[in-house]
Structure 1
Amino acid sequence: MLNKIIVFLCITMTVGAFAQMNDITYTIGEKYNDKYKYSNLLAIADDGNGGTVIVRSYYTGIVLKPKGYFVEHYNKDLELLSEFNYKLKNANFVNAYVKNGQVYLLFLEYNYNRKAYEYQVHRSPYTDYHFTKETILSIVSEPVTQPLDRNFYNRNFSSGFTTSVLFNDEKSAFAITTHFKKRKENKHFIYVFDASLNKLVEHDFSEEVEEKNYAFETVTFSEDLSNVYLVGKAYFKKKRFNATERKFQYEMVRVSASGRSVQSFYTPGKFPEALKPIFRGNELLCLGFYADRKDNRYNGIAYFKLNRNTLNIESQKFNPFSQQFMMDKFGREEDKTIKNLIFKSMDISATGEILFNAEEYFTSTSTQANTSGGRVMVTRYHHNDIVSAKLQANGDLIWARNINKTEVTQGDDAYTSYSAYTKGGTTYFFISTASENPQQLSAERIMFKQGLSRNRNIFLIKLDGNGKMNYEKVIDDGDARLPLMVSRPHIDKSKDELMFYAKRGSKKQLVRVTVN
């Protein structure tokens, strides 16, 4: 009997572990068997009762092909309540989200009978699984090679028809843009839907595309969803360019049921990059980076404050990267450039200060031998340094810091990159690495590397209100035996909690992290 009690206590401590750290508390849920070894996490969300809903796509076969979608529902104690396999082959997936007690799957399909592209939504309650299908938008067009422009940063306008979908961070609404061009016909429409699939706006944007083609990258909405604010590149069609000019400029477009406003971000000698719109109360801001020349290197942080109706720029700031930042990133190396920064998160304090985080991200391709003796093209996804910055309420830079890391993957990149959470002026970064400790580059610089082990440690990197950095290992690979999909948690700010999905092979579990 004594041995049974000891065994029971050991299982309780490891499976339902509840460990206390200096800054976080974490709970590791029970491991469950999973029949789909190969899958991708599409959505993770709260069920409204403290539980969690997971949506994945899965792949099977000797040559892996997408075969359907798998939904999992957990309760507040991280216990698996139900699973559902929605078998669906050859579907052109766009996005997924969980709202209103239902799972939503968005697809773009071509209807050959109607000769039109159709945005279709498959949805089902996750308490009583029964998927239904409906078409929310139909656009007449001949079929093209790649209608859905997934790469917002390098759009192709020559195919005749192109479309893209942008969700806000809360997944409360989304915008669909459609650009159709055939001979003299040149049409661009913007449609806005809320999460319940109600169409809020249908706007004819065709006048603006007579001179420019638009590749929208980011979006935000007014609180009542009556206005959508899209930001992206506007490519000039016929303008002659000097050697110092670019063929595009960043613009913001506001669209509502009653009309639109357009604002370009053009300042001589300053080239904005990776701009993101955000509301600070009733104030409309747009933040990002800028370059001093037309190539893709970044020299600092750009800040714009705009009128939310007219989009007139009320104030703007260009903050160059500090010497401390450049030392963090490059040490004493000279002639190094900063580029390929992509926004990850942004927080605004009670006093209006802005904390935002970005990541150095790029892809590379190469050919390698396959099992049949042939050659295959392989795409690798690089998630490198973290950039974190803090701005005053007026847009002046307080500090910017660089956290050195290097990660690359050929497969599911949910395990790479990082997630960030801000509380009490301190930003917490969660990264997953097989290394036991970061590499010490100098007295002021450390490097987190991916490592080679199958098991992963979770490190917590902290930047306090003054930009001072420290770190600690918070979840050991001996505690969490499955790697966490560290870049795609569900974040509940009301509870200061992050929910992570962990999976490897045929095993899966949830891990809840609370920032104390």
Structure 2
Amino acid sequence: MKKIVVSLLIGLFTVGLSAQNIPNQIQKSVVFKDEYKHSNIVLVEDDGSGGVLVVRSYQGGMFSSGVGYYFERYDSNLKLLKEYEYEMKYSEVEKQSSVLGLITEGNQVHIIDFLYNSTEKAYICSSLTANNNDFQFSKKELFRINSEEIKQFGFFGFGSSFDNDSGASMIINEDKSAFAITIDIKDKNAETHQLFLFDNALNKKFDHTFKREIKDRKFSYENIDVSKDGNTLYLLGKVYTDEKKKKKEGGKYQFELTRITKDSEKTQVFDTNEYFSASLKTIVFEDRLTCIGFYSEKNDNRYKGISYFELDPVTLAIRKSKYNPFTEQFIIDKYGKSKDKELKNLSFRRILITPTNEIIFNAEEYYITSHYVANQYGGTWHYVYHYDDIVSAKINSSGEIDWARNINKRQATQGDESYISYTSTLKDNDTFFFINTGEKVKKLSNDRIQFGQTSTKRSNMNIIRINQNGDIDYQEILDDKDNEVPFMVSDGAITKNSVFFIGRKGKKKQILKVSL
């Protein structure tokens, strides 16, 4: 399947870096070529013997059709031991196919597939399962829904929560012991979703019909979470009711959190009072349930600080409601001086939980701009995707901000977004961000710095660390002059204390492992 690009790279290329105060180790696979240009890491799992299983999705382009997965086993030195290509193939009657996600159980790998069968006039969800030693796949139907029940067909990202109402989505719990699948159901008078909960051995725990007697446009799903024990679902929605329209101050909506088990459904209603909050994210602990997000005093997209709600995970009784304004340190990070100004365009990124159950809440300034370019045929619109400052805050168990920091960054693209933005992770109580930059770090006023633009032609990888006290340092760990390929820094896959990235330049590819 693969061709070695440079014979001198046979074997392992390993470099240990410990400059400044951020110990890390860099390991790279050999550079290789796949038949398909586009490839992303979708799963990394320890194999129990010091090595890892890496699963990469691929898809063909204009001149090479095909969709599937590469399964690769590497030893502890990133030497390839075994590889297998699995192409997703469908019959003529199988339409609108999409993989919702992957999950493992022991040495079993499950691909969860969802498609429409035109002969049976049904949407069918199936698992494709193989042992990671032989990769002999077998198929098992998990459930099916008649086509007339489906409202609209659409899919969301791998294992992610969703913020749209149509389609199908797969959500995996923190321990990867269970997963849920939700399907939007056609209903003119009520917002309806069919929910299915499975353990990672594909045993169905229950299915449940969630129905809210309100029109679709007035109910927006925030997210669905699966409890750590894999027995409970939590569904958070943002609801625009006639009662909330009469509010004099704050957002004219309410949030509704529903707890769903095999035998029960219970809902708690709460709102943000005189504040605005565009969205909230649920975080499930064993002894508490939290909803966290940004709030504003003016409107839904200009933010003043971080809101925090704590509920009992069983009764859903509200224990705490807090509105934490951004800290003075955060404002100085952002503007170089104390300034009474609200932020806008903040989007949730990965939320991390420390060993002592504190929350690291990460976000990024993300927005899209457009401009019209006239030509002899009339003209075209060009869209630019901006990934600017990183926002990170530590929320303690009382719901208060221990620290909040702003990392100045200016990055934009009209093409592949995988090389910009960032991947974040935790080691002990320190938070780490991996970013690319194509130029030297820029010095700003008041001892501040700014990370700049990157591209596939010039891409240096940096680690930024925020320690448990909120202090920041950083270090360049890869110089683009030493790499044959740039690495997709926004698509990192995390296992234990290591982060895996894939690099690509044309059909050339390479796996990178950074151990903290």
Output the TM-score relative to the length of structure 1. 0.84
Q: Compute the displacement of 1:392 (Å).
A: 2.8
Secondary structure of the residue aligned to 2:331 is helix
Distance between the aligned counterparts of 2:510 and 2:404, measured in 1? 36
Q: Which residue of 2 aligns with 1:421?
A: 425
Q: Which residue of 2 aligns with 1:460?
A: 463
Secondary structure of the residue aligned to 2:186 is strand
Find out whether 1:16 has 2:14 as its counterpart.
yes
Q: Compute the displacement of 1:410 (Å).
A: 4.3
Q: Compute the displacement of 1:78 (Å).
A: 0.4
Q: Compute the displacement of 1:404 (Å).
A: 1.2
Q: 1:122 to 1:374 in 2, by over 3 A?
A: farther
Q: Compute the displacement of 1:303 (Å).
A: 1.3
Q: Which residue of 1 aligns with 2:4?
A: none
Q: 1:139 to 1:294 in 2, by over 3 A?
A: farther
Q: Which residue of 1 aligns with 2:72?
A: 72
Q: Which residue of 2 aligns with 1:88?
A: 88
Partner deviation per Cα, 1:180-226 (whole Å, 9 max, x = no partner): 235568743222122222221212222x2346764433333333211
Q: Compute the displacement of 1:70 (Å).
A: 2.6
Distance between the aligned counterparts of 1:368 and 1:31, measured in 2? 43
Q: Which residue of 2 aligns with 1:258?
A: 263
Q: Which residue of 1 aligns with 2:333?
A: 328
- Kept in 1: contact 2:151–2:184 (CA 8 A): no
Q: Which residue of 2 aligns with 1:108?
A: 114
Distance between the aligned counterparts of 1:349 and 1:244, measured in 2? 39
Distance between the aligned counterparts of 2:164 and 2:456, measured in 1? 38
2:199 pairs with 194, 200, 208, which one?
194
Find out whether 1:279 has 2:276 as its counterpart.
no
Find out whether 1:342 has 2:348 as its counterpart.
yes
What amino acid is aligned across from residue 385 of structure 1 in structure 2? D
Q: Compute the displacement of 1:139 (Å).
A: 1.5
Secondary structure of the residue aligned to 1:341 is strand
Q: Which residue of 2 aligns with 1:136?
A: 142
Partner deviation per Cα, 1:4-56 (whole Å, 9 max, x = no partner): xxxx9x97998233344442232322323222352131513124223223333
Q: Which residue of 1 aligns with 2:129?
A: 123
- Kept in 1: contact 2:41–2:493 (CA 8 A): no
Q: Which residue of 2 aligns with 1:451?
A: 454
Distance between the aligned counterparts of 2:328 and 2:18, measured in 1? 38
- Kept in 2: contact 1:104–1:124 (CA 8 A): yes
- Kept in 1: contact 2:255–2:270 (CA 8 A): yes
Distance between the aligned counterparts of 1:369 and 1:252, measured in 2? 49
Q: Compute the displacement of 1:81 (Å).
A: 1.9
Secondary structure of the residue aligned to 1:97 is strand
Q: Which residue of 1 aligns with 2:507?
A: 506
Q: 1:331 to 1:294 in 2, by over 3 A?
A: same
Distance between the aligned counterparts of 1:490 and 1:149, measured in 2? 21
Between Structure 1 and Structure 2, how many residues are aligned? Answer: 497
Distance between the aligned counterparts of 1:154 and 1:377, measured in 2? 26
Q: Which residue of 2 aligns with 1:227?
A: 232
Distance between the aligned counterparts of 1:238 and 1:363, measured in 2? 34
Q: 1:339 to 1:215 in 2, by over 3 A?
A: same
Output the TM-score relative to the length of structure 2. 0.84
- Kept in 2: contact 1:120–1:134 (CA 8 A): yes
Q: Which residue of 1 aligns with 2:437?
A: 433
What amino acid is aligned across from residue 56 of structure 1 in structure 2? R
What amino acid is aligned across from residue 140 of structure 1 in structure 2? N
Q: 1:237 to 1:223 in 2, by over 3 A?
A: same
Distance between the aligned counterparts of 2:181 and 2:336, measured in 1? 44
Q: 1:51 to 1:14 in 2, by over 3 A?
A: closer
Partner deviation per Cα, 1:419-439 (whole Å, 9 max, x = no partner): 22333433222112222x211
Secondary structure of the residue aligned to 1:26 is strand
| More off after superposition, 292-301 vs 500-509 | 500-509
Identity %: 33
Partner deviation per Cα, 1:106-163 (whole Å, 9 max, x = no partner): 332112223222223323233212223333121123397951253876635xxxx644
- Kept in 1: contact 2:245–2:253 (CA 8 A): no
Q: 1:12 to 1:118 in 2, by over 3 A?
A: closer
- Kept in 1: contact 2:433–2:464 (CA 8 A): yes
What amino acid is aligned across from residue 225 of structure 1 in structure 2? G
Q: Which residue of 2 aligns with 1:406?
A: 410
